[in-house]
Structure 1
Amino acid sequence: ASHRFPSFIAKAGICDIRYIHRYFQTHQGIWQLGLTSPGGAGRNKTLNQSDFLDIQILLPPFKEQERIADIIDTWDEAIALTNALIKALQQRKKGLMQKLLTGEIRFPGFDDAWEEVRIDDVARVNPPKPKNLDENTVVSFVGMADVSEDARLTTKESRPYSEVSSGFTPFRDMDILIAKITPCLENGKGALVNGLDNGLGFGSTEFHVVRAKAEKTFPEFLYYHTVSHNFRGRGELNMVGSAGQKRVPTDYVRAYRFPIPTLAEQKKIIASLSDADDGINLYKLYVTELQQQKKGLMQQLLTGQVQVKGMDYVRVLHK
């Protein structure tokens, strides 16, 4: 292994290596590692092994270390199992989406033929910014980092219109953002935006914006098509530009063809896929809760703030 990865072996019966590993993930442990890692910022900081071995930590009796490590392992197992379930649900949703968006699966009571259209037929691509907007109007700013790789808006920043009126991509509530540059497109970056300040937003020039025509399609239905494997995969094949700076052209988005049912059937499809999303998001919230619980437990158990069965912690010279 690289010399940048020093190895340490725990003394049998004195130290549970899982306990030590967890300890150096706490705020206190990370701070101590920083003190023993001289050098500049970034990769220039290197652990001083001699100083590391002189670090003093709170070390409970060995059996207590094992119990603490087991408790934290239980949280890790719960997190891993829930993440596995999320992945399974996401794969199931992908399969369902593929079948619903192509008409392979139809809902009872719907038998009208679907029409093949281009995005340009049912939406405006990269519409212009609003006119006569007061420069003090507060709008939302969305950068590429503010959208996730599962095509969700995660954060946004409030700014006056005067700061973003030039040099940024305009959009409004219920518009669809599509990352145009590699590897953001391939990684799934994008969003169906809503809840913008005053219903208006500006963002990275690396976004395409698609605005559904209300009489033709629902934004949510169009959004699901733009996050489909077919749309993203074909978009990757149609990229232009040099390596590392390849982008999906506007013409690809406008000309992308897909089948579309009646508005009533679109609504049913949206509801079904939205239910699937809600289930996935519920488990994601559960994972976040478990991670916060684990973080709190680690901080309390590994620093002696809380003791299991009242055993005494001792400060030792770990060398």
Structure 2
Amino acid sequence: MSEAPTPIDWIQCELGELTEIILGGTPSTEIPDFWGGTIPWMSSGDVHMKIIDNVPGRITKRGLESSNARLVSPPTVAVALAGQGKTRGTVALVRTTLSTNQSVALLRPIDERLDARFLYYNLDHRYEELRNRSMGGGRAGLSGGVLAKVPIALPPRSAQQRIADMLDSLDTQVRLTSRIIAKLEQVGLGLMNDLLSRGVDRSGRIRPIGSFETRNSDAGSFPASWTVVRLDQIADVERGKFGHRPRNDPMYLGGPFPFIQTGDIAAMEGGVIVDASQSLSHLGAAVSRSFPAGTIAVTIAANIADTAMLGQSMYFPDSVVGVRVWPPNRGEYVQFVLRAAKPRLEARAPQSAQRNINLQDLRPLQVPLPEPAEQARICAVMKAHSDAVLAEREALAKIKAQKAAILGDLLTGRVRIPAEVAS
């Protein structure tokens, strides 16, 4: 927490003074009658839901009575005592009656001075601090005793409620915007299928079903006026390279040449990529291969058939293929085809520890090809949709930045919310 002075009307307490810390338990997994009942049973992984009104786990009354699990009424704050990855130290606000396993502690306020929502936001902001408190000997984990000693600066309850109301409002905006983005992304999948199966007429509208003749190929159904070509009939399809071993030799890395990785491409989700997570020195560039701006980068190992369009010249390793589309055809259109073909290309990857495809899978890929003018119209429709998704993502980032900027100040009293503002 911040070292700033505590406001004079705030009090310093420990969680053990303000809350009952309730640890859970797990019924025997060898007795089927203990499981599949009607009693909600929370595991540590459920904390990632953050606001909990229900959980998938269920136990029976016999299972509850046979274990250390307790049925606890809301509101409580759940703290993951242990768990995989980033789970330990994660908190959630529980708004329903439930039980938990032994890897979750429920903090139930027992002092009227403490608001449960304020406690949730306070501990959520202190995630790293909670994890650090669990770094003891043996297996790292939190405990009820450790949580009881966690200090907390407590403003008057009315101020806690105003702080929680403001943060609730921001979180609501985050959830609503996230849902809009998810809906737009789902619509985008259907839109891409419609564009590649029906095309766009000269008026800029997707052709109505039944208004045109169709033809079928391995690439699907599409207007009969389109042609079908192999990918290597309209583009150079070349694999990247990096011939030096070991790959992490510092003499070959850290220079002025962007060196794209499969993760960089996957993160772009078909967008334009201008930065790479690694770079090459002059020695590294000499044993790699560069591709110009406008090239479609396609992953062929680990992540299969993820794509991005290069916004500048970049170097590729051998896990990435560059597709350079020849004019008058449009690279953006071909990228749509490649993204739509992802399930087919993934199916061609061997089911092994390191899944991959190769040039023999990409070069003969069938591409349904409208005339260049229609390619441009298809790209325009898809770009309008992509711009809408981008605008919502930027709005979401702005809300999260606003919350991050004010959170610490609110929870330490550096910024106060007057009652008249809250009302």
TM, length-normalised to structure 1: 0.81
Q: Which whole-Å CA distance do the structure 1 matches of 2:165 and 2:107 have between them? A: 21
Q: 1:66 to 1:260 in 2, by over 3 A?
A: same
Q: What is the Cα deviation at residue 34 of structure 1? A: 4.1
Q: 1:73 to 1:304 in 2, by over 3 A?
A: same
Q: Superposition pairs for residues 42-121 of structure 1, below 5 Å?
A: 44-108=139-203, 113-121=225-233
Q: Which whole-Å CA distance do the structure 1 matches of 2:202 and 2:386 have between them? A: 19
Root-mean-square deviation (CA, aligned residues, Å) is 2.9
1:189 aligns with 2:286: no
Higher mean C-alpha deviation, range 217-226 or range 11-20? 11-20
Q: What is the Cα deviation at residue 258 of structure 1? A: 2.3
1:145 aligns with 2:242: no
The match for 1:208 is 321
The match for 1:163 is 284
Q: 1:286 to 1:154 in 2, by over 3 A?
A: farther
Q: Per-residue displacement from partner, 1:107-127 (whole Å, max 9, x unpaired)? A: 339999211111111111116
The match for 1:175 is 295
Q: Per-residue displacement from partner, 1:91-121 (whole Å, max 9, x unpaired)? A: 2222222121223543339999211111111
Q: Which whole-Å CA distance do the structure 1 matches of 2:255 and 2:169 have between them? A: 50
Q: Which whole-Å CA distance do the structure 2 matches of 1:145 and 1:11 have between them? A: 47
Q: What is the Cα deviation at residue 37 of structure 1? A: 1.4
Q: What is the Cα deviation at residue 38 of structure 1? A: 2.3
Amino acid at match of 2:318: T
Q: 1:154 to 1:33 in 2, by over 3 A?
A: farther
SS in 2 for 1:38: coil
Q: What is the Cα deviation at residue 169 of structure 1? A: 5.4
SS in 2 for 1:6: strand
The match for 2:130 is 33
Q: Which whole-Å CA distance do the structure 1 matches of 2:147 and 2:130 have between them? A: 7
Tell me if structure 2 keeps the 8 A contact 1:72–1:297: no
Q: 1:202 to 1:39 in 2, by over 3 A?
A: farther
Q: Which whole-Å CA distance do the structure 2 matches of 1:44 and 1:256 have between them? A: 51
Q: 1:70 to 1:270 in 2, by over 3 A?
A: same
Tell me if structure 1 keeps the 8 A contact 2:228–2:366: yes
Amino acid at match of 2:196: L
Q: What is the Cα deviation at residue 51 of structure 1? A: 3.2
Aligned length: 290
Instruction: Name the larger-Rg structure.
Output: 2
Q: Per-residue displacement from partner, 1:30-60 (whole Å, max 9, x unpaired)? A: 45324421237xx943224323212222111
Q: Per-residue displacement from partner, 1:279-298 (whole Å, max 9, x unpaired)? A: 11011001000000111221
Q: Which whole-Å CA distance do the structure 1 matches of 2:202 and 2:181 have between them? A: 26
The match for 1:316 is none
The match for 2:393 is 284
The match for 1:237 is 347
Q: Which whole-Å CA distance do the structure 2 matches of 1:306 and 1:113 have between them? A: 65
Q: 1:161 to 1:2 in 2, by over 3 A?
A: farther
1:302 aligns with 2:423: no
Q: What is the Cα deviation at residue 159 of structure 1? A: 3.5
TM, length-normalised to structure 2: 0.62
Q: Which whole-Å CA distance do the structure 2 matches of 1:284 and 1:296 have between them? A: 18
Higher mean C-alpha deviation, range 95-104 or range 170-179? 95-104
The structure richer in helix per residue is 1
Q: 1:6 aligns with which of 84, 95, 105?
A: 105
Point out which structure has higher relative CO (alpha carbons under 8 A, 6+ apart): 1
Amino acid at match of 2:261: G
Amino acid at match of 2:151: Q
The match for 2:334 is 222
Higher mean C-alpha deviation, range 260-269 or range 93-102? 93-102
Amino acid at match of 1:3: Q
Q: Which whole-Å CA distance do the structure 2 matches of 1:310 and 1:128 have between them? A: 61
The structure richer in strand per residue is 2
Q: Which whole-Å CA distance do the structure 2 matches of 1:150 and 1:114 have between them? A: 27
